[in-house]
Amino acid sequence: MSRIGKLPISVPAGVAISVDKDNAVTVKGPKGSLTTQVDRDITVAIEDGTLTVTRPTEQKRHKAMHGLYRSLINNMVTGVSAGFEKKLELVGVGYKASLVGSTLELALGYSHNVYIALPGEVSATAVTEKGKNPIVTLNSIDNQLLGQVAAKIRSLRKVEPYKGKGVRFVGEIIRRKAGKTASK
């Protein structure tokens, strides 16, 4: 058995899960609703406030999908009940972030500002405190979409290993390299 796949998912109060005949799982909660299509071989069962995901055989393909769909459904349940949050820190002189409507404007040391249109499911806030690096906070109920948006923002200016400048996740540890040393 898959270690991840065999774990049951406890459904919190206020969250409703439904599985239709096409094996589409819909999760509705206080923050919204999410739907995903589960492979037809994987069985999703709801009993006594817990959800279990089972696979028909021990094939490699079924084993891979077993843990995957259990994780996706668990992320959906967590998203509609509590939501997800990612924080990005802009480290560098003159790096700024501001939010205009649903467009994030970033000054990342290029000759021009970078504008990112955020999807409707993702909300953001940009905070700049004096003497500290700007922090962009992204919130969403969809963990996969939130990760994609955060990775896109991070890819605009990757952290370089010598001075540590760039866009990083808050709390991320960057391996630093030693610079040149003077000879003799």
Q: How far is CA 9 from CA 40, 45, 102, 147, in A?
A: 20, 10, 34, 22
* Structural domain count, the chain: 2
Contact 124, 139 (CB under 8 A): yes
Domain boundary among 21, 55, 81: 81
C-alpha–C-alpha distance, residues 142 and 102, integer Å: 17
Same domain, 36 and 113: no
Beta carbons within 10 angstroms of residue 77's beta carbon = 21
Range of the domain at 47: 9-81
Beta carbons within 10 angstroms of residue 183's beta carbon = 4
What φ, ψ does residue 125 adopt, rounded to 5°? Answer: -135, 145
Instruction: Print pLDDT tens along the chain (184 aa).
Output: 568 888 999 999 999 999 998 999 999 999 999 999 999 999 999 988 899 999 999 999 999 999 999 999 999 999 999 999 999 999 999 999 999 999 999 999 999 999 999 999 999 999 999 999 999 999 999 999 999 999 999 999 999 999 999 999 999 999 999 888 766 5
Q: Determine, yes or no, domain membership for 4.
A: no
